[in-house]
């Protein structure tokens, strides 16, 4: 599968693991990253991933996440059509940064965008998208991804 992974997924392993949901999502993220390393899935990156990651106050976390850009098969750059698509998403109630992620995922022809953001998951269901938006745990509820 061609995956676009929201930055909150990359940050999930750094979150407090005392909550079951956080532990389950962290496990799913690690399994997905392992699938990318094994070339069973492919990763898309984008300018908005770099922008958002560069804002993180913890340098070691920021640097570790940034390494994943090198595993991406493609990095989606900003252009006018992407800007317009993000604007359309924003007009439908998607926060600006999330709208940019969705537009990048579509432009990169991602099959699935993974996020741990419940609000984005709910709101994305109302949109007409060229991809599926799902939680990393739900990704493994698909008939165990092939490969």
* pLDDT score of 19: 95
- Token representation of residue 107: 């432009």
* pLDDT score of 90: 95
pLDDT surpasses 60 at 16: yes
Does residue 61 contact residue 49 with C-beta atoms inside 8 Å?
no
112-114 and 74-76 strand pairing: unpaired
Identify the structural domains of the chain with CATH numbers, from first to last: 2-139 (3.40.50.1010)
Does residue 98 contact residue 127 with C-beta atoms inside 8 Å?
no
Find the DSSP H helices in 38-133. Answer: 47-54, 59-66, 80-91, 96-107, 118-124
């Amino acid at each position: 599968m061609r995956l676009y992974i929201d930055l909150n997924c990359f940050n999930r392993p750094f979150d407090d693991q005392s909550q079951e949901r956080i532990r389950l999502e962290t496990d799913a993220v690690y399994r997905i990253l392992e699938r990318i390393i094994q070339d069973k899935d492919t990763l898309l990156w984008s300018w908005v991933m770099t922008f958002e990651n560069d804002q993180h106050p913890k340098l070691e976390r920021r640097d570790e996440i940034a390494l994943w850009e090198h595993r991406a098969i493609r990095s989606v750059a900003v252009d006018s059509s992407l800007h317009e698509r993000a604007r359309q998403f924003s007009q439908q109630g998607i926060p600006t940064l999330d709208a940019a992620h969705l537009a990048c995922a579509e432009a990169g022809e991602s099959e699935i965008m993974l996020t741990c953001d419940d609000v984005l998951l709910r709101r994305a269901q109302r949109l007409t998208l060229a991809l599926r938006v799902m939680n990393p745990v739900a990704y493994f509820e698909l008939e165990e991804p092939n490969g």
